[in-house]
């Protein structure tokens, strides 16, 4: 990281090789689109290059810092490109049963899983993806989302409960839909 | 309440862990993992909760959730030209003082800088001290004028 701060492109390339794929995976799970996920990864590493001196090693691991940048970019993207989504994102407004019923109209069972993840409020989705798939600790994720560990656990429990409802519906009734997350 | 302070493991807390993190102990908080595993081993009746959580974990690992391969992602990222960085004077100074770890003899760099620093300060102070008398030195004309004054005083 000192090399990147000093403008060493070999150090930057090493960081890209180590962290690009997890960041792209995270963005993909947040946005449900490969091209957009690549754009987010691109922008994340551009910021690593231009803002490397802002990273504080004592505060967060490089991987966590990069996830934080990618997370903020994903949230910005979702809010800019899907303005109607913002009003839906309040965790309390999600009606699990109703959304599960809507999801039943989709065509493919596997794609239904994408729909299910896409229908989670962004904070629930971030919490679930970061802890379950990206391997970050609950403390790191809580810091990233600026919430307490207890609040994180509450988000995770709600996310899993919602997914369970969707997935049970999917198991009972195969359906199809496009691969992209529905928003 | 924080995770670090939760003791001992109760059925309620165990159920909360399953609800939040699933049934895979690898996903449980490190500070509670051992206690939760021991609780699970000692309490057969919580198996139903565990099995329910396992079912959702299986869904989460279906191929449909897995991201695409992102072929050549690293190459694409590295092919893009990196923009020049506007670096402050302090940044440049710090980089000069603390060079990249790849630089040979970097281990010697800081002791050398540390040893040279007092020398540099000494030289700087030395130059300043030398200049002080020059500021107050009198010219030849001034000296002749002062001598003439003293001669005039003797006459009087």
CB A167 within 8 A of CB A161: no
| A57–B contact, CB cutoff 8 A | no
Task: Yes or no: say if B46 and B13 are a contact pair by the CB < 8 Å rule.
Answer: no
Q: What's the mean per-residue pLDDT of chain B?
A: 80
The DSSP string of A30-93 is HH--HHHHHHHHHHHHHHHHHSGGG--TTT--HHHHHHHHHHHHHHHHHHHH-HHHHHH--GGG
Domain termination site, one of B65, B91, B111: B65
The helix/strand/coil state of A176 is strand
Q: Could you tell me the pLDDT band of residue B95, with boundaries at 50, 70 and 90?
A: low
In a domain, B91, yes or no: no
Which residue from B56, B70, B85 is facing A163, i.e. has the nearest CB? B56
Residue B36, in any domain of the structure: yes
pLDDT tens, position by position, A29-51: 898 889 999 999 999 999 988 88
Domain A90-172 CATH class label: mainly alpha
Residues of B in contact with A163 (CB under 8 A): 56, 59-60
A156: tokens are: 């995770």
Nearest CA in chain B to A6: B95
| Cα four-point dihedral sign A166, B26, A27, A90 | positive
According to DSSP, the residues that pair with A107 across neighbouring strands are: A176
Domains of chain B: total: 2
Q: How confident is the model at residue B100 (pLDDT cuts 50, 70, 90)?
A: low
Report the DSSP beta bridge partners of residue A176: A107
Which residues in B lie closer than 8 A to residue A111 (C-beta atoms)? 64
Contacts of B93 (CB under 8 A, 6+ apart): none
Contacts of A7 (CB under 8 A, 6+ apart): B85, B87, B95
Best mutation target among B17, B59, B71 (most A Cβ atoms within 10 Å) is: B59
Distance from CA of A147 to the nearest CA of B (A): 12
Contacts of A53 (CB under 8 A, 6+ apart): A5, B91
**A157–B62 C-beta distance less than 8 A:** no
Q: By CA distance, what is B67's nearest residue in A?
A: A25
Q: Give yes or no for B80 touching A (CB within 8 A).
A: yes
- Class of domain A2-81 (CATH, top level): mainly alpha
Domain assignment present for residue B115? The answer is: yes
End-of-domain residue from the set B65, B86, B113: B65
pLDDT tens for residues B14-71?
999 999 999 999 999 999 999 999 999 999 889 889 998 998 898 888 777 788 889 8
**CB-CB under 8 Å, B19 with A157:** yes
Does the pLDDT of residue A100 top 50, yes or no?
no
CA closest to A46 among chain B residues: B82
CATH 1.10.1740.10 domain residues, chain A: 2-81
**Statement: residue B110 has pLDDT above 90:** no
| Separation between Cα atoms, residue B66 and residue A60, nearest integer Å | 27
Is B87 among the domain residues? no
Residues B111 and B60 placed together within one structural domain of the fold? no
B132 lies in which domain range? 101-151
Domain final position from B45, B65, B85: B65
Determine, yes or no, domain membership for B73.
no
pLDDT exceeds cutoff 50 at A182 = no
Provide ipTM, 2 decimals: 0.73
- Which of A1, A55, A132, A142 to probe the B interface (max B CBs under 10 A)? A132
Which letter does DSSP use for residue A131 in this model?
I
Of A115, A174, A6, the residue nearest B106 (C-alpha)? A6
Domain assignment present for residue B21? The answer is yes
Rounded Cα distance between A68 and B104, Å, is 34
Which residues from A are below 8 Å from B49, CB to CB? none
Indicate the SS3 state at residue A174. Answer: coil
Whether B46 maps to a domain, the answer reads: yes
Does the pLDDT value for residue B5 go beyond 80? no
* Total Cβ atoms within 10 A of residue B84: 8
**What pLDDT score was predicted for residue B23?**
94
Q: Which of B70, B72, B109 is the best residue to mutate to test the A interface, defined by the most A CB atoms within 10 Å of its own CB? A: B70
CB neighbour class for B152 (10 Å; exposed up to 12, middle 13-18, buried from 19): exposed
State the Cα–Cα distance between residues A162 and B87, nearest whole angstrom.
48
Which residue from A41, A114, A131 is facing B64, i.e. has the nearest CB? A114
Reported as a single tens digit per residue, the pLDDT across A48-66 is 888 877 777 777 788 999 9
Interface contact B27-A28, CB threshold 8 A: no
CA separation for the pair B95, B85 (Å, rounded): 14
Among A131, A159, A57, which residue's Cα sits nearest to residue B30?
A131
Nearest neighbour of B64 by CB, restricted to A38, A111, A153: A111
CA separation for the pair B145, B156 (Å, rounded): 17
Is residue A114 less than 8 Å (CB to CB) from chain B? yes
Per-residue exposure over A123-156, b if at least 16 CB sit within 10 Å of its own CB, e if not: bbbbbbbbbbbbebbbbbbbbbbebebeebbbbb
Cα A27 to Cα A30: distance, rounded to the nearest angstrom: 5
Chain A residues whose CB is inside 8 A of the B3 CB are 138-139, 149
């Amino acid at each position: 990281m000192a090399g990147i701060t000093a403008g060493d492109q070999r150090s930057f390339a090493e960081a890209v090789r180590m962290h690009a794929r997890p960041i792209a995976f995270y963005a993909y799970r947040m946005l449900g689109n490969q091209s957009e996920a690549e754009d987010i990864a691109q922008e994340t590493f551009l910021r690593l290059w231009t803002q490397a001196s802002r990273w504080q090693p004592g505060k967060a691991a490089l991987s966590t810092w990069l996830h934080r940048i990618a997370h903020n970019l994903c949230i910005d993207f979702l809010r800019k490109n899907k303005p109607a989504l913002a009003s839906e994102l309040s965790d309390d407004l999600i009606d699990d049963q109703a959304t599960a019923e809507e999801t039943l109209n989709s065509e493919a069972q596997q794609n239904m899983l994408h729909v299910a993840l896409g229908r989670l409020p962004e904070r629930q989705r971030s919490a679930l993806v970061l802890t379950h798939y990206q391997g970050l600790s609950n403390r790191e994720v809580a810091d990233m989302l600026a919430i307490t560990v207890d609040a994180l656990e509450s988000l995770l429990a709600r996310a899993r409960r919602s997914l369970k409802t969707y997935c049970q519906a999917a198991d009972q009734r195969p359906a199809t839909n496009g691969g992209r997350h529905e928003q | 309440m924080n995770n670090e302070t939760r003791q001992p493991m109760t059925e309620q807390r165990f159920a909360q862990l399953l609800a939040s993190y699933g049934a895979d102990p690898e996903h449980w908080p490190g500070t509670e993992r051992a206690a939760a595993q021991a609780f699970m081993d000692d309490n057969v009746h919580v198996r139903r909760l565990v099995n329910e959580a396992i079912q959702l974990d299986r869904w989460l690992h279906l191929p449909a959730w897995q991201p695409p391969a992102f072929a050549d992602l690293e190459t694409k990222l590295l092919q893009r030209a990196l923009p020049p960085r506007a670096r402050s004077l302090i940044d440049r100074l710090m980089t000069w003082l603390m060079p990249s770890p790849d630089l040979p003899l970097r281990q010697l760099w800081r002791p050398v800088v540390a040893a040279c620093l007092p020398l540099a300060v000494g030289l700087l102070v030395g130059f300043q001290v030398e200049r002080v008398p020059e500021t107050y030195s009198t010219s030849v004309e001034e000296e002749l004028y002062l001598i003439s004054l003293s001669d005039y005083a003797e006459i009087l």
